[in-house]
Structure 1
Amino acid sequence: MAASFHAFVLAGTGSGCGKTTVTLGLLSLMKKRGLRVQPCKVGPDYLDTGWHTAVCGTASRNLDSFMLPTSTLNALFCEQMQHADIAVIEGVMGLYDGYGTDPDYCSTAAMAKQLGCPVILLVDGKAVSTSIAATVMGFQHFDPSLNIAGVIVNRVNSETHYQLLKVAIERYCSVPVLGYVPRMEGVALPERHLGLVTARESVINQQPWQDFAATLEQTLDIDALLNLSMLDNLPVGEWPALPAADAGAGLTLAVADDEAFNFYYPDNMTLLARTGLNIVRFSPLHDTCLPDCQMIWLGGGYPELHAAALARNVTMLEQLRAAHQRGVAIYAECGGLMYLGSSLEDSNGDRWLMADIIPGHSKMGKRLTRFGYCEAQATQQTLLATAGEVLRGHEFHYSDFTPEIPAVMNCRKVRDGKTLQAWSGGWQVGNTFASYLHVHFAQRPEMLNHWLAAARNTL
């Protein structure tokens, strides 16, 4: 492989240590240098990837080892690297935090080893001096097989403070310190109950990020970072059997895409496009006309924040019901499920009428109803899976859905070999399927064959 390919994982000591902010600064900086940068995020998070995409202009990719087999994930990564000079991969939580207590299962460290990428460890420099070396040393010794190639110190007060931290780390840990990140105004990311506010909802002011990048160019040794991130080889991967290149020919998929619905994995869109589908976008919030289509996808998002506007757009609700009645193959995830239900009660206690395609009622709560990875086994034929097939995905929602019809999937959360929680979920009505589960299609491309076959019945 050409030596011009680079990749590194920006890992943290824990959540909230500044990984996303620093990642965005690095993306802006690399772009400023004229590099073709591929942003990535370890895990299933939609929000961080949305900000990556907004700041650097290239669709960020999720690297999720729970949903995707190793060979498939590696193949996806290699494909993206064919169009990039460098991959900047933001880790998830702390470096060794995964699913359960196994540091090699769904963790940032495990992903770095799988891809063969060096780790740049981001540590907090606030209110500490020599003790910071103990923190770095602990991360080094926890897994000596992991390549922690460099350190960046966040929240540094001054150059004098930084020199004290740098000398301590390099003296006791023998790892290069690549620089520091000072406190800066205007680069904090807005938050709400589900995490960050989506980049889609915010007007992205590029100037603060460009200013941040200019500062990082002064406080970080970017040339050293690029040298450390040079890859000798890309990981070995292989695609699973994919739908035929003409499997979607003659079919149109309408994708809901606006402030209320915008959580989609770019890889899923790419896989759909490879079938020859015609993909068009529409807005349940603003449009009054549904595109002429045989398939509809309603992704996740924040319908609870726009419930009044969604309810007022009666024409769109009527057109969705009509599409359902004539057999259009409709798939809905999380926020899409809430929209297809009978009604939605927002956090103020106001109740709004929705599409009434999946009989049931959504109600917003004050804490997460379910959170994290889970498996779902179909108990009957559904839009995406036949009876017995298991899908892997994740749930992340404050709402709860009270159905008026039986569920069609048995769901469970298994951690460290123990079933922590089991429940029923997913509802199929006619050619419409909806659930809280977010899935990555590459884990089981047969899902697309099921969906496409259902859509062909409407032709």
Structure 2
Amino acid sequence: MKAILIAGTKSGVGKTTITLGLLGALKRRGLKVQAFKVGPDFIDPGLHALLTGIPSHNLDTWMLSNEENIKIFHKYANLSDISVLEGVMGLFDGAPGSAEHGSTAHLAKILEVPVVLVIDCHGLARSILPLIKGFLEYDRAVPIKGVILNRVGSPNHEAFLRRIIASDFPELNVIGAIPRKDEMLIPSRHLGLFTAGEIKDDIGIINEITDRISKAVDLDTLLEIAWKGERIPCEPSGKTVGVFSAPEVTIGVPMDEAFCFYYEENLDALRRAGAKIARFSPLRDERLPEIDAIYIGGGYPELYAKELSQNTSIIGELRKRVLNGMPCYGECGGMMYLSRGIYLEGGDFYPMLGVLPFSVRMLPFLKSLGYREVEFLRDTILGIKGLRARGHEFHYSERVDEFSMEHCAYSSKNALGKAMGDKGFVEGNILSSYVHLHFLSNREIARNFVNRIKETIE
């Protein structure tokens, strides 16, 4: 098996588009391709899956231990011919206050996977040399083996850059050069690129990206410099990846354009703890599936507020079940759906489930962004008082009404250790928060959730 990591000098240099093109191009060669995303992002893994046909997995050295990252990587890399990892931000950018945790560079060193650095060459000539030199020498333990030149101005520009790079860095491979006129853009909005669910039917965009990267990048050289490793057993003896014990409970998981932000490892952790995952759409389905609990992840409920609000059959059934004690966990967009309703920026209000004692309003600016470590202030469906877990927060909304301290679920700190105030709401079998928790930051979470569900239905 092989692996390569696509990193950037900064955000916005084209990592995602180039990664998507590489996934498509490698798959066209008949290879089984596994994608990974460095960092807490939800949108990029969804786009990866469009190209590979299988889930992409997040790796993050701030939210998860080195051991967990290595385990996740080898577990899925074992099943593929080549793994392509997409980095986060710039190569050395990570959690605030940390020398390297959360960065692409840190993960590359832990996994020992070669790095291909994407450089935005618009307006660059000889100045590209000190740029490359700085990245190569800043941390020599990071295995940078090649570069991809993006937004190259002309054939002459490309030839010049290739010549000076070969002269100053003869061991560094120029894997490809992508003309500026061939820029490929996936539409974006306040939380990032459009999601996979929104562009899945636009085969034209997917094929165009694959076509252009296939022509611009030397796949043979990419495969040659890729990490080559032995397949190692990552599962206990007798177990197969993706095969779980017979489920004891069923957890409903909304999965559509409005709700699609889930860490794949969270769902796998629940399956391993004894849960069956039943997916459904609050936008289109008229009835809930047969479920014992609900886990509502993040997404874009504000963009579909009218449609969600008008599906009164689902709202009514779900409200009744939750108020009658069915365990319910909602994070970020899921919390918004559980609230009294959503105020859009223009002032329009759309009622939601109303099982939480507050509404949510959209803002024209970013309200909160960053890593979070939470400590449970009281017993909840995910864990007892004192349990700690890590996750991430990113939203353009805020609660309109606050609630009493007795209902605060967590105390929260950012990556710098600064207190961020109490987070989340807890009452009975309801838990909700803006924080997207990663269940493998504390393996007790999934077991606790499933055990609480079993107690409820017994």
Q: How does 1:250-399 map to 2 (within 5 A)?
A: 250-399=248-397
TM-score (norm 1): 0.92
Matched, 1:180 2:200: no
Gap regions ≥5 residues in structure 2: 237-243
Partner of 1:410: 411
Give deviations 1:283-314, integer Å, cap 9, x for gaps: 11222211221111111011111112222222
Partner of 1:242: none
Shift of 1:203: 4.1
Partner of 1:109: 105
Partner of 1:68: 64
Shift of 1:215: 3.4
Partner of 2:116: 120
Partner of 2:36: 40
Matched, 1:55 2:51: yes
Partner of 1:202: 199
Partner of 1:433: 431
SS of the aligned residue for 1:94 comes to coil
SS of the aligned residue for 1:78 comes to helix
AA aligned to 2:414 is: K
Q: Provide the rounded CA distance (Å) in 2 between the counterparts of 1:98 and 1:409.
A: 24
SS of the aligned residue for 1:258 comes to coil
TM-score (norm 2): 0.93
Question: Cα 1:211–1:324, aligned 2, differ >3 Å: closer, same or farther?
Answer: closer
SS of the aligned residue for 1:77 comes to helix
Match 1:144 to one of 140, 144, 154 = 140
AA aligned to 1:410 is: S
Give deviations 1:314-346, integer Å, cap 9, x for gaps: 222211121113321111111010111112111
| 8 Å CA contact 2:380, 2:428 repeated in 1 | no
SS of the aligned residue for 1:58 comes to coil
Q: Provide the rounded CA distance (Å) in 1 between the counterparts of 2:72 and 2:225.
A: 23
Matched, 1:214 2:214: no
The answer to which of 268-277 and 329-338 deviates more is 268-277
Q: Provide the rounded CA distance (Å) in 1 between the counterparts of 2:337 and 2:273.
A: 27
SS of the aligned residue for 2:197 comes to coil
Q: Provide the rounded CA distance (Å) in 2 between the counterparts of 1:443 and 1:102.
A: 18
The answer to which of 145-154 and 287-296 deviates more is 287-296
Matched, 1:84 2:80: yes
Shift of 1:238: 8.9
Q: Provide the rounded CA distance (Å) in 1 between the counterparts of 2:202 and 2:256.
A: 19
Match 1:229 to one of 226, 241, 245 = 226
Shift of 1:362: 0.6
Partner of 1:17: 13
AA aligned to 1:375 is: E
Match 1:160 to one of 156, 164, 176 = 156
AA aligned to 1:265 is: Y
The answer to which of 205-214 and 432-441 deviates more is 205-214
Shift of 1:163: 1.2
The answer to which of 77-86 and 202-211 deviates more is 202-211
Q: Provide the rounded CA distance (Å) in 1 between the counterparts of 2:193 and 2:216.
A: 27
Shift of 1:185: 5.2
Partner of 1:135: 131
| 8 Å CA contact 2:151, 2:183 repeated in 1 | no
AA aligned to 1:165 is: L
AA aligned to 1:176 is: N
AA aligned to 2:302 is: E
Question: Cα 1:431–1:187, aligned 2, differ >3 Å: closer, same or farther?
Answer: same
The answer to which of 125-134 and 402-411 deviates more is 402-411
AA aligned to 1:84 is: S
Q: Provide the rounded CA distance (Å) in 1 between the counterparts of 2:233 and 2:288.
A: 43
Question: Cα 1:103–1:121, aligned 2, differ >3 Å: closer, same or farther?
Answer: farther
Match 1:31 to one of 11, 14, 27 = 27
AA aligned to 1:73 is: N
Q: Provide the rounded CA distance (Å) in 2 between the counterparts of 1:137 and 1:236.
A: 38
Question: Cα 1:150–1:183, aligned 2, differ >3 Å: closer, same or farther?
Answer: same
The answer to which of 33-42 and 290-299 deviates more is 290-299
Q: Provide the rounded CA distance (Å) in 1 between the counterparts of 2:229 and 2:51.
A: 28
Gap regions ≥5 residues in structure 1: 240-244
AA aligned to 2:329 is: Y
AA aligned to 1:85 is: D
Give deviations 1:157-198, integer Å, cap 9, x for gaps: 222211100111121233121221123558311011111111
Give deviations 1:24-51, integer Å, cap 9, x for gaps: 1111100111111111110010011111
Q: Provide the rounded CA distance (Å) in 1 between the counterparts of 2:257 and 2:114.
A: 36
SS of the aligned residue for 1:358 comes to coil
AA aligned to 2:94 is: G
Shift of 1:237: 7.7
Give deviations 1:73-122, integer Å, cap 9, x for gaps: 11111110121111111100001111125442111111100111011011
- Give the aligned CA root-mean-square deviation in angstroms: 2.1
Question: Cα 1:138–1:187, aligned 2, differ >3 Å: closer, same or farther?
Answer: same
